[in-house]
Homo-oligomer: A and B are copies of this chain.
Amino acid sequence: MKINVVKKVFKANDLVAQENRKIFKETGILAVNVISSPGSGKTTLLEKTIPSLMPDQKSLVIVGDLQTTRDAERLSPFAQQVTQINTGLSCHLYANQIAQSLGDLNLKEADFFFIENVGNIVCPGEFDLGENVKVVLLSVPEGDDKVAKYPTIFRVADVVLLTKVDLLGHLQFDLNRVQEDLSKLNATVPIIQISSHNNQGMDIWLDWLTKRRKEAVGRQAKFVKEE
């Protein structure tokens, strides 16, 4: 009984996610679902990423948090538009929360649509938002055993950003262990080592992101944008 209900929720969510995906494609925007534990550096990453993409490439942001508008406030100086969704008790964003926000956003004016999910590496992996890519952050202080312990999210990642690598000298952390565990779950996923503190790896990450946008939107969408 319980399983049936859960399945219905998943199915309804997936239908809305498909609609979102269609809209992203039509408007030539790359939707990026940013997922990690609390405090792995999602907002800091976006604070660095969005200005680096400008002025050529513009970004919209949706931020999901249980409470507060702190992350939206932090990102509003950089993004074209920022929407904060307070989820209350919910541990992830739903596709319909994204859908409801799309009407207020100038999708055609932007190139990237960043969705900063609620800090959690379990539930957000289950709920498709219609994004083009899932970016999963793992910060060095969380420890090198997290890929094996939370496999569901790492299995569906399109890229894994190992963040706070400037702390590698201060903490016990075995990079090989992370790479080995990931290779078993998601053999081809790239791992990018990032430090928002000293900008290590930012160029590789920006390059990855820009290439994904080109692949996802293709020629037709570009033409629409150039009109």
Contacts and interface: CB of A to CB of B under 8 A. Distances in A.
A201 interface: no
Contact of A149 (B67, B126, B142, B145): B67
A141 B119 CA distance: 14
Interface in A136-164: 139, 141-143, 145-146, 148-152, 164
Interface centre among A38, A143, A167 (most CB of B within 10 A): A38
A145 B5 CA distance: 35
Contact of A120 (B9, B65, B122, B164): B122
Contact of A91 (B2, B122, B141): B122
Given A38-B37, A139-B141, A141-B164, A148 B91 contact: no
A118 interface: yes
A70 B38 contact: no
B91 A38 contact: no
A2 to B, nearest CB: 7
A70 B118 contact: no
Given A39-B139, A141-B141, 5 more contacts: A37-B142, A38-B149, A89-B126, A118-B122, A139-B141
10 contacts: A37-B37, A37-B38, A38-B142, A38-B143, A70-B149, A71-B149, A89-B122, A91-B122, A119-B149, A139-B141
Interface of A: 2, 5, 9, 37-39, 65-68, 70-71, 89-91, 118-123, 126, 139, 141-143, 145-146, 148-152, 164, 167, 170
The 5 closest A-B pairs by CB, nearest first: A39-B142, A141-B141, A91-B122, A39-B143, A37-B38
